[in-house]
Amino acid sequence: MAYRVLGRAGPPQPRRARRFFFAFTLSLSCTYLCYSLLCCCDDFGRSRLLSAPRCLHGPGAGGQKLLQKSRPCDPPGPTPSAPPAAAPAPRLSAANHSGSQKLGTKRLPQALIVGVKKGGTRAVLEFIRVHPDVRALGTEPHFFDRNYGRGLDWYRSLMPRTLESQITLEKTPSYFVTQEAPSRIFNMSRDTKLIVVVRDPVTRAISDYTQTLSKKPDIPTFEVLSFRNRTQGLVDVSWGAIRIGLYALHLQSWLRYFPLAQIHFVSGERLIVDPAGEMGRVQDFLGVRRFLTDKHFYFNKTKGFPCLKKTESSLLPRCLGKSKGRTHVQIDPEVIDQLRDFYRPYNIKFYETVGQDFRWE
């Protein structure tokens, strides 16, 4: 049957139509196969960052539209389920980054606990180390009294790494009674903040003796060591346990180099009954926020001393070691009265100098 031409072509012959349709289908199949091979089924289609298949990403809008109707190609093996969302990177706490060797910088300390022995310095150190803005050396380096010849580089190498926002601190109680320590610390930095934990000098001397006795049980009695002549009331100030308690005399050496405003005095007695209050004043002195509060402490009746409550990072409460809070040896009350008379003028002078009454009388 003939066709009339009215401006448009007639339908193609059936055989030609089949050929055309076959060629078009083959072309689309080849295009899809090429995109699949190039984009997701070989090493060239893997992500440079995550090494994951990068499927269904054609080079143009047409390819995108076509490939959206197809399944993404899968890696060899069984078809995996949708991958879980990546876990967020762990957040590094400023208070606990000792495991990283690259986080922070080792700096010379900006603050020192310089004394006094058996006054409560270990408690202050352990308490303040809980603060996220303070990083403290756990051991006593004795740099400014025994190891000064090793140099500041050696001293700095001992310090924990800190961030710019953190304070580096160390504790060595013998500094307070070391004649050279004030000038040496001043030469390191005249801006160093100094913390001195003080305690009733008589109680402190008995505690000092008790500690020594636990290590050297053959030493003379406390009474024998305290006096050159007990009958005449002559106290032996050459004995370290007695000499350390002359706070007013030792303080004069420090005031030659540091203003009083740069020295903070902690009451060892108040630290026991009100640790949060004393540590609040320490935090104010260091210029950090009051992080340590009542909720961090509880009173240990066995030790007769406050301990730190368990925290998120610790499953157990934290108390000082067995050498802390030990029972003192019994001393003749008359000896105690004689020593109180001896220390009284030194205590009064100390109160006047620092502007605090520690009520040791």
CATH number at residue 146: 3.40.50.300
> pLDDT tens digits for 83-134?
333 333 333 333 333 334 468 999 999 999 999 999 999 999 999 999 999 9
Place of tokens 């605090």: 356
Beta bridge partners of 169: 111, 136
Let me know if residue 55 belongs to a domain: no
> pLDDT tens digits for 162-214?
999 999 999 999 999 999 999 999 999 999 999 999 999 999 999 999 999 99
- The annotated binding site is made up of 118-122, 199, 207, 324-328
What's 299's DSSP letter?
Answer: E
**CB-based contact 209:226 (threshold 8 Å):** no
Let me know if residue 142 belongs to a domain: yes
Total of domains in the chain: 1
- The alpha carbons of the chain give a radius of gyration, in whole angstroms, of 38
**CB-based contact 180:145 (threshold 8 Å):** yes
Q: How far apart are CA 126 and CA 297, in angstroms?
A: 12
- The annotated binding site for 3'-phosphoadenylyl sulfate is made up of 118-122, 199, 207, 324-328
Which amino acid makes up residue 139? T
What is the set of active-site residues?
Answer: 118
Let me know if residue 218 belongs to a domain: no
Residues 6+ apart with CB under 8 A from 304: 272, 325
Average pLDDT over residues 323-344: 89
First-to-last CA distance in the chain?
A: 133
Let me know if residue 339 belongs to a domain: no
The pLDDT of residue 28 is 52
> pLDDT tens digits for 5-60?
334 444 445 555 555 555 555 555 555 554 444 444 344 333 333 334 344 344 44
Dihedral of CA atoms 92, 93, 94, 96 in degrees, nearest 10, equals: -100
Containing structural domain, residue 274? 105-204+241-324
Let me know if residue 90 belongs to a domain: no
Let me know if residue 39 belongs to a domain: no
Let me know if residue 98 belongs to a domain: no
Let me know if residue 155 belongs to a domain: yes
**Residue 64 CA to its chain's centroid (Å):** 53
What is the phi/psi pair of residue 60, to 5°? -140, 175
Q: How far apart are CA 169 and CA 108, in angstroms?
A: 8
